[in-house]
């Protein structure tokens, strides 16, 4: 379905817009502000791609929740409403938590919905813990896909999915902008809700440590050589931690600005990743970031006749 302008009696046909929402836990509430800013300008995305918490926001929007609804629900959220409901012991599966309660929590949000049946096109991004490959989920049970994309390595056990074992999509694609290339969109908007390395002393320290000789040795020990990789929980945990170290080592100082039909927006929410009670601040940061990015996005739209 082509993008439609929300206002006007005879809206012209407009380019297809795709939005890729990155991870960031509670910081991901910034995505609601971005979506609200787009709708305020008469635009709704045709295609949504999400990873980790960005997948949750993308899924709810694709289900038909308005930014106003999302904001209302988010501003009622507290840590005590989330954390006790998603923890279940999973040490025997190579992680602290098994993940069953996490999936049940997502099921409470999206019910029995399937990705392929949603009113808007949606894709959920996860990572194969055994190969490190990005996996794009375009069909199947939505709650299970959200669990896979949000399964932080070492924290939640991998999710079995069609012969693969999947973990957090943010490991391989913190902002899955390139995933939109297969969806025929004319304008692709990538939204980051984490913290860029230039803004995070902790991330810079982690990146430097991973890139050091000692860090490279630790990474190899975690991953294990292909011919002698350990099976079972410890092997799974080691590979997950190795992938996490890879992500730290590849962290850039800033998101690229984007080129051609793509635009990157970094929202920089001023909250900790577990402060679910501060959703309003994150949403405001997303709205402000979209306002700042609008000239660039507007030029791309104008070049396409919008």
| Active-site amino acid positions | 52, 168
Angle formed by the axes of helices 67-75 and 279-303, nearest 10°: 160
> In this structure, what are the phi and psi dihedrals at residue 184, rounded to the nearest 5 degrees?
65, 35
| Alpha carbons 159 and 57: distance in angstroms, whole number | 20
| 175 contacts 22 by C-beta, under 8 angstroms | yes
Annotate 255-277 with DSSP letters as a single string: -----TTEEEEE---SS-TT-GG
Give Dmax (Cα) for the chain.
Answer: 65
> In this structure, what are the phi and psi dihedrals at residue 121, rounded to the nearest 5 degrees?
-65, 130
| 88 contacts 101 by C-beta, under 8 angstroms | yes
The position carrying tokens 């692709």 is: 188
Phi-psi map region of 279: left, alpha, beta (phi>0 left; psi -120 to 50 alpha):
alpha
């Amino acid at each position: 379905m082509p993008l439609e302008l929300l206002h006007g009696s005879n809206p012209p046909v407009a380019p297809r817009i795709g939005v890729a929402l990155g991870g960031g836990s509670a910081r991901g509430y910034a995505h609601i502000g971005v979506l609200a800013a787009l709708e305020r300008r008469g635009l709704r995305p045709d295609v949504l791609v999400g990873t980790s918490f960005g997948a949750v926001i993308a899924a709810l929007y694709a289900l038909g929740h308005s930014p106003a609804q999302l904001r209302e629900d988010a501003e009622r959220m507290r840590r005590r409403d989330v954390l006790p409901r998603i923890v279940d012991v999973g040490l025997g599966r190579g992680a602290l938590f098994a993940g069953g309660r996490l999936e049940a929590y997502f099921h409470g949000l999206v019910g029995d919905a399937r990705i392929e049946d949603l009113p808007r096109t949606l894709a959920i991004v996860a990572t194969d813990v055994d190969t490190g490959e990005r996996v794009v989920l375009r069909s199947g049970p939505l709650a299970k896909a959200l669990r896979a994309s949000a399964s932080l390595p070492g924290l939640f056990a991998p999710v079995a999915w069609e012969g693969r074992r999947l973990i957090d999509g943010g490991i391989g694609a913190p902002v899955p902008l390139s995933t939109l290339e297969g969806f025929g969109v004319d304008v692709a908007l990538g939204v980051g809700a984490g913290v860029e390395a230039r803004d995070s002393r902790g991330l810079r320290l982690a990146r430097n440590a991973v890139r050091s000789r000692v860090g490279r040795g630790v990474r190899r020990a975690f991953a294990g050589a292909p011919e002698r990789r350990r099976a079972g929980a410890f092997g799974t945990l080691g590979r997950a931690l190795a992938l996490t170290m890879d992500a730290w080592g590849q962290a850039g100082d800033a998101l690229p600005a984007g080129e051609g039909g793509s635009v990157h927006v970094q929202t920089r929410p001023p909250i900790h990743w577990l402060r679910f009670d501060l959703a309003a601040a994150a949403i405001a940061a997303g709205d402000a970031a979209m306002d700042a990015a609008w000239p660039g996005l507007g030029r791309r739209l104008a070049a396409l006749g919008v």
